[in-house]
Structures are given as C-alpha cells and as structure tokens.
Structure 1
Amino acid sequence: MELNLDQIPREKTLTKKEFLRKYFQPQKPVVIEQFIEDWPAYSKWNLDYMKEIAGEKIVPLYDDRPVKHDEGFNEPHAQMKMKDYVDLLQSEPTKYRIFLWNVLKEVPELQKDFTYPDFGLRLMKGLPMLFFGGSNSHTFMHYDIDLANIFHFHFEGRKQCILFSQSETKFLYKIPHSLITREDIDFANPDLEKWPALKHAKGHVAHLEHGNVLYIPEGYWHHMKYITPGFSMSLRAIARRPRNFGKAIYNIMFMRHFDNLMRRLKGQKWIDWKNERAIVRTHNMVFQK
C-alpha cells in the first residue's frame, strides 16, 4: 500500500482574483507553472550562480539525524562555505541541506532578481528564505511555527512535495509539543504496517521543476524531498484564519519555550517520552472506539 495522495492541481498561470477564489479562500494547494518568467532570477538563479555570488558566505547545514535534547531550536548540524557546499551538491549525494537562509540578510543584491508578487495577501518582505538540498535529501514532515501561507518558488533541480492539511494531524504520528511527526517515518516510502494510522490520511503530492511556484495553505504539513540537487525560495504571508493565527502565537510565545525548558530539565528522557506518546496518542485517536 501507498499513501493516499492526490496530485496537486497545476495551473499555467493565475490572476489574483482566480487565486483567491479557487485556492486561498478554500485553503487548497496549487502549483503555478509559469508565473516568474519575468524575474531576472528565472534565468540567472542556478547553483553555479549562487556559488559565484555567495561563494565565501558560511552557510548553516542540516541533515536528517533525529532531534537530540541538547540541540537548540533549528540549530545547524554543520557549516561550510557556499562554494564548497555547491561543489558537494554537484559531485555526490549528500543529506546536508540549507534551511531558512535569509536572502536579504546574507546576500542583499539577490533581492534585485525578484519582486514580491501580488497574490492578494500581504507578504512578509523581510523574510525571503532560501532552501537547498542534494539528491535524495529530505526534510522531516513538519509544519511551520507561524502557520503562514507559503509561496515556494523552485529553481534548479526537481523536488517532490507531500502535503497534509491540519485536519489530517491525528493520523500523522505528531510529536507532542513540537512541529514534526515521528522522524523515523519515511514519507516518501512509508512502512504502513509499522505506521498503520497513515493508511487513513489523505494528502497531496506534486513534483516541482524550475520556475514552478507551490502554494502551501496555512499550517499545512509538508515533506520536501530533493530528487536532484537544487534550491527554492519561500515567501510567506501571515495566517489569516483566527484559529491558525492563535496557534501561531501559542507556538511562538509558549510551546517552543516550554519544550526547550523540558529538554534542559529532563534531557533525552523528554525526547523519548514524546516519541512514545506520538504512537500512543495517534493509535488511541484512530483505532480505539
């Protein structure tokens, strides 16, 4: 058996009115195939260009090792110069990814290569973030701490994106007091005998190529797998639905601080307890009458 995933709708292009009516208001994902062809970035941005313009920058790197109690929130696992990282991406498979790399802060001149599109939502202009990955590297299934509306612009390479709405959370083995699912679930090829609740989850999938834009609605879970080396940029707009906005405030103001406190007080026992509770809670919700 495989996950129950629908192909995300694809549109050649969309007007603001069409996007708001067909996708934002009902909170449905969409891939827009031809939206950024007038950006200089469309023709300029590739790995070689990033190596040229940002080669001496030290970049934070993340892999798929499980969360440890003594690691801080979003703390990188390694770092190297961008030019060396691009060489690594182009020479061999690597699990190292760049995550939440702020274009404005790190390489301000890159802002000349794109504009903030008018989707009818107010984009947060201080937070254009780049994400890089090597062949077969992937993120854990997660949702963003602020439950934002995300516009994910893909550049070089091919990427598989699996999405679930918050309504499917009860099937996903969510870790308590966190934004991730069990890290030992391979959402690209899950063992549905080991994780039987996933059989009930209904999600979405798309493959992104150069120039594609993926709209990820508020609070959607997402798992990103790089089929080939490449990178993307995300722009975001604040959650508009009151329930999601309230969750975002709770996550930022309380949840992450409580989790960090419990890591310091209980160490690895806290992580182990959360991992076990993810299974118990999920199976209780799904299978117990």
Structure 2
Amino acid sequence: MKLQPIEKREGLTSEEFRDEYLLPRKPVIFKDLIKDWPATDKWTFDWFRKNYGHLEVPLFGNDFHDAGKHYMASKRKMKFGDYLSLIENEPTELRMFLYNIFDHAPELVNDFSMPDIISGWNKRYYYMFFGGQGSSVNLHYDIDCSHVFLSQFQTKKKVYLFAPNQGELLYHQPFTVKSQMDVNNPDYEKYPALKYVEGLTGTLEHGETLFMPSQYWHHMEYVEGGFGLALRAYTDWTMLAGAAKNLATHFVIDKGLNKIMGERWSHWKKEKARENAQHAMQKMELA
C-alpha cells in the first residue's frame, strides 16, 4: 500500500478549486474555507454540553457492521452532555452518527453557511459526527455518492483516502459500500491485492475542511475526541443515479439477505470480495 500526503491549500478561488480539484476529482484540505463561520470559534465541548446536553443520542461501536440482528444498529443511548464529557476526557470506541442533531436543534444552521467555492449544495442533509480518541470509521465510501466537505472542530482527525478505482483492490464487499480492510495494519499475506493499492493520507485539524470527491473510499481516525460537520454537494445527475442504486441494493438486498442469512451472507460477501480482488490483482500483474 502506497500513501501520499493530501495537499493543504489556502486562498483557493472557486475557479482554481474547479480546475485543480473538482474536475479531476482530487482531494484537498482547505485551511481557511470556514474561517468566517461563527461555528469555528463558538462550537466547543462546553458550549454544546451547556446548550444541548439534555438530548438523548444513539451511539455506535466497532460492531456496527457485524452480521446478525444488530447489523448497523446502535450500541446504546446516552445523554449528549455525558457523551461529550466521555469523549473529551478518555478514549472510547463509541461514535455518534446517523443522528441529525439539526432536527433537534435547528438554530445550529445559523452558525455556518454553504461556501461559494462550489454550487449544488444539498441544503437539507448535513450531519455532525462525534467520536472518542481511538475510535475510527471503517473503510467505506458514502452511499449517497455526493462530494463531501468535512470540517473539523477543536481537535485532530487522521484521514485515509482511496480513489473509486481502488475498490476491488480494497476488497470491496458486493451490495455494500464497505471494505473489511484495516488500513493501519494491512495483512498482505491474507489480502495480497493491498500491495497494489495507492492512496492519500493527512491530518485534519481545527478549522480545516477536507474536500472528498464522490465515491472516494475513506477511513477516519479520531486522534483526539472531537467532532466535525459534513456538507454535501452534487454537480451532475450521475451522482444522484449512483445514490439511488446504492440505496436500493443496500436497504433491499444487503439488509434483507443479512436478516435472512446472517453469517452466511457475510461470508459470501467476503469471499466474493476476495475473488474480485484476485482478478484485479492479476490484471495489474499482466499490465
């Protein structure tokens, strides 16, 4: 596996961003895209705890993708204030996502705005993500196929990115948007195709924004307990078509067969991913 650093830029114009990153579908970290947002200074652990600590939120663990009746289900619920204190002060695998805090605190939208660096923003679906030190997001690409602008607050997050054409080499499990690979500890004997994978890595710090092009594979690690905000944009109809296809296969086929077959379905996906990776690796060796 070969990794190169993600570029960090500041002062990019919309034209420069379009030509250098958007059109070639190349990730970049903006150092100053959200410098004028009230949220950049306002959103702290103490501020969220004081104003929204009473909310009860679902939390997810490392077993989120484990086969069976709890597949993609929350691990527990907790008062938001207690959870913030937990991730601020100690490591934990528990993460908060798939919960739209803006549905419960709509006034938060006044603390940020859609940057004019791009058009086509989805002004309904934006999400915050929270996690404790040491927690991570399993390697996957976003099911809605949007371009994602992920801004980090207060603390640091480690990012690994892989282009869409690396999917088979990453042992993409069919009918899902995920891979079972551990990017920090690649097992080249068990998963030999990983030797051919090329990707990017970088550390996202407070006030910085990652541009992640549509269908980019990503693995995120919380270097410290913290939180971020993801804004989404669509620049052509094919992205929406991809999202519709993914949603159908995921919620109808994958979740349905997981419910019926459990571990047998999980085993079939892993074996099919291995078969596809083997074919992709053979093509690379013959090229």
TM-score, scaled to structure 1: 0.92
Alignment check: 8 A CA contact 1:103 1:111 kept: no
Cα deviation for residue 245 of structure 1 reads 3.7
Alignment check: 8 A CA contact 1:146 1:238 kept: no
Alignment check: 8 A CA contact 1:218 1:239 kept: no
| 2:209 aligns with one of 189, 192, 213 | 213
1:8-38, Cα deviation, whole Å (9 max, x unpaired): 1110231211111111011100000012121
* Pair 1:187-2:170 in alignment: no
Bigger mean CA deviation after superposition, 142-151 or 61-70: 61-70
Partner of 1:67: 66
Alignment check: 8 A CA contact 2:168 2:273 kept: no
Distance 1:232 1:43 in 2: 13
* Pair 1:228-2:227 in alignment: no
Distance 1:58 1:209 in 2: 28
1:12-65, Cα deviation, whole Å (9 max, x unpaired): 231211111111011100000012121111111122222122101111111112
| 1:58 aligns with one of 49, 56, 72 | 56
Alignment check: 8 A CA contact 2:56 2:79 kept: yes
| 2:158 aligns with one of 160, 172, 177 | 160
Partner of 2:142: 144
1:206-259, Cα deviation, whole Å (9 max, x unpaired): 1000000000001101100011111100000125263x4432221123443111
Bigger mean CA deviation after superposition, 230-239 or 250-259: 250-259
Alignment check: 8 A CA contact 2:88 2:226 kept: no
Distance 1:285 1:36 in 2: 40
With over 3 angstroms needed to count, the CA separation of the structure-2 counterparts of 1:188 and 1:236, relative to structure 1, is: same
Distance 1:166 1:252 in 2: 18
Find the residue that maps to 1:252 and give its secondary structure.
Answer: helix
Bigger mean CA deviation after superposition, 189-198 or 19-28: 189-198
Distance 1:264 1:222 in 2: 27
Partner of 1:267: 262
Partner of 1:30: 28
Tell me, which stretches of 5 or more residues in structure 2 are unaligned? none
Distance 1:123 1:146 in 2: 13
Partner of 1:197: 193
Bigger mean CA deviation after superposition, 124-133 or 102-111: 102-111
Alignment check: 8 A CA contact 1:155 1:210 kept: yes
Partner of 1:7: 5
Distance 2:193 2:269 in 1: 18
Cα deviation for residue 120 of structure 1 reads 2.2
Partner of 1:20: 18
Partner of 2:244: 249
Q: Percent identity?
A: 35
Cα deviation for residue 103 of structure 1 reads 3.7
* Pair 1:276-2:274 in alignment: no
Q: How big is the alpha-carbon RMSD for the aligned residues of Structure 1 and Structure 2?
A: 1.7
Distance 1:100 1:28 in 2: 26
Q: Give the residue type in structure 2 aligned to 1:279.
A: R
Cα deviation for residue 97 of structure 1 reads 0.6
TM-score, scaled to structure 2: 0.93
User: What number of residue pairs does the alignment pair up?
Assistant: 283
Find the residue that maps to 1:180 and give its secondary structure.
Answer: coil
Tell me, which stretches of 5 or more residues in structure 1 are unaligned? none
Distance 2:7 2:33 in 1: 15
With over 3 angstroms needed to count, the CA separation of the structure-2 counterparts of 1:199 and 1:20, relative to structure 1, is: same
Distance 2:109 2:277 in 1: 43
Alignment check: 8 A CA contact 1:89 1:229 kept: yes
| 1:80 aligns with one of 74, 78, 81 | 78
Alignment check: 8 A CA contact 2:56 2:78 kept: yes
Q: Give the residue type in structure 1 aligned to 2:277.
A: T
Bigger mean CA deviation after superposition, 264-273 or 226-235: 264-273
Cα deviation for residue 158 of structure 1 reads 0.7
